[in-house]
Structure 1
């Protein structure tokens, strides 16, 4: 029976709280009496849909209001960032606040769940399945390899007859022990992968159940485990033993029979790959030149903001133009790409795979160029993207400011998925001011040139503050004006000092080493280094990119 047909359960108008309700606005999800319908429709900023209460569509399973237990939270207060019911709104506590429809506000949550489900089904789960299958194959090959070893040792033993029975038995025993240790290690790792695979299957099932349900409380309570699953366990690196027979001489049977090579099992943290993560050997030490040398000048013919190396011979540039341009070192324009929105690209970066990434301030997006096709990777809400960096692990670091420019942060993305937020120090105070440029050091520290704070801010991979550099106390230089930032093979940190027309070089601990100020620099802005530590400087005012040898 409908509540309106029950005299003892008369429901009142959400607006006036006096008269019995007769109508229902499906846009705002509130109930109205006849007198309040006109007042509600007077708000022409929304396209209301008022219908008789009995003809209303079924009410979605909104979360219940914590303040009014008989009400559901149909709306969302943008200022308070909480779901609210109609009684909360008309109580006056949210006077002057902006509201949105709760389902619209939470509509992005299923998309996140769908993305997690897609990644689990298409990437993470198949990766674990494939690795588990590979371990089975490895066990089969293990049997063949050790059988081959045993056969070789047996054949050598038959040639030596009884004189070397003791040696044969000893080395067979060693093989068996190696085999047991190897098999035990593989069984242990296989068991671990099987358990994780079961957890992933459970997550997939849970996500499907949530997506099939209209229970928003389940959606709100969902906590993604994809970041945990994305970190693959270390892989065992096995150095298989081999048998090296020697020519038989009875007088030196023990020495000449042959020996098994050493057997070992070690763990390689990045042996399995969900994404590219190449280990890099320690580079040779390169001293800084006393006097850096200007080796090449490229005239781009437009104001420059950023430069990024595609190779040691080709550089991408962007500036006060909607065109991204690729030049060789002779200054020849090799390629031009117009931004998707026809707006200016604020910053660019080249990924490990050679694709170009750029930030679009006006559309609040980060985009990637693949085979001349531009794809949107990240779209921000209530934040403005500034500068981008492609990391050694294949992630993207993006600096951004809030709409009111009162907050600034660095976000790490894996594709379109947010993995890490770096915004506050251990005391809860902001790490950054505004207009921040970003680079990843060889030691995986995140280096930010915070122009608003006139400082270089460096945190470790976990986001813990390591140091702040606010310029060198030099009597020949004015205030510190950092813009572009980059790092090299020695973990030096290089940042432009635009107003002083120079570049500061710091060591990885933030200690000032020296300036580059002798190459006729004019408002240096963007920076990058190639694979052999040549520095490329994008000058904002001269339209030139300068290649400088400084090590």
Structure 2
């Protein structure tokens, strides 16, 4: 007979084994006398005991059923197998030699675990998720507002355009009306004069008829003819209607109107960060409309007077800045023919490859890189003097002065800011810094694992911004092109493409991008340019007889300009077809 369920037996305290039971711990399932109940709590303070009167306890315990023997209850627990067992299991010798305890003894440990996990969920995890949910709801509300403001800004900008176009249309129509009225008034005046002449001619005809019928010779001799006057005044006055010659809409109207930057979703939970960069709206709404030519074409070659030529930057489709191995930066024309504004400015005829002017650094040190800003100003790096300098209206302006760091390469962003690749003075670190004027907006130096993105202290590293706002750096030391997104997160590294003809080690130099986010990098060792897409997929080599290609840039028509180092020439290469119609 079970002493716990028999009403005929006196139930004793589980601890002292003497006193009659008065209390019950629902936490440990222990029957206790009043004295042992207090001791039970004080000696096990770490546990959340719940002491009730013995009569208020749950009178029936439901033991777990045995999974092996039907209708058997497991009142024992095998510590080695970590499972409840029944009497039949014990009799089958399956647990012979194993440490066995009562199931009730395991209950306390199990409840400890459940209690600990419940408290963690209740006190930490649940409030954390509530905060996250509240934060997400707040961000969603703010996001809806911000996107509403963004749409409103686009609409207002569009309305500005419409107003300006309406003004232009109104002005042109007013000019048309004025021209029409002027010509109509002139023709009306001429018509009035002609009608008067017609009336005079009718009078003369009647006079002639009368003279022919008269016998009065004096009247006959008094008739005079005005025929010479009529012949002279009958000359036809010609009118010419003005012609409206509409300008062709720009091939990329979105460049003039404006564009959206790349959007991103960032998830940050308990220190784990994950960044997903989405395609920009511009990339989604403006599919590529250019295709690769079957074979790239060398359009023209510009000769320079450097000993070695390293960098080229487009000022316009007709002019390029160049840099060699001295402290001079020189502006050259590209195409043969006259450029009137430049002829007036410099007072000499322009021929293919003629030098327009030369700029010498004030410090006397040779610059490491050059670029042209969005506003058309020349910017260059003075590595020794630790400065970034812009040439504005023929005057040098020191926009960035560094300490403990030296600028090596630079590019101008679509927003008009500067991206500068820097080396530390000890040549042990390298980083990219985004500057707005002289203010640092962002620093990019390490990947998500804390490893450096760029090789420090080495030569031949150049930087550019892609149309999708990725930041592209050619790193000849690492023999790689490193691409990070606008937030500075590593997207991929391109380490070259090997073919039978191009099997020397990949040696990237200059880097450029085009209007459809292709990335181009000069491969000095293999005498070619690698063309890859915005996700790092190799597309083709561009050769065109290149020898020692170094600096790169593209013009507004996506022509590639390549500075050949030892040949001291810039080649202009066409590699894309003209814009195709898009349905």
TM-score by length of 1: 0.50
Structure with max Cα Rg: 2
TM-score by length of 2: 0.47
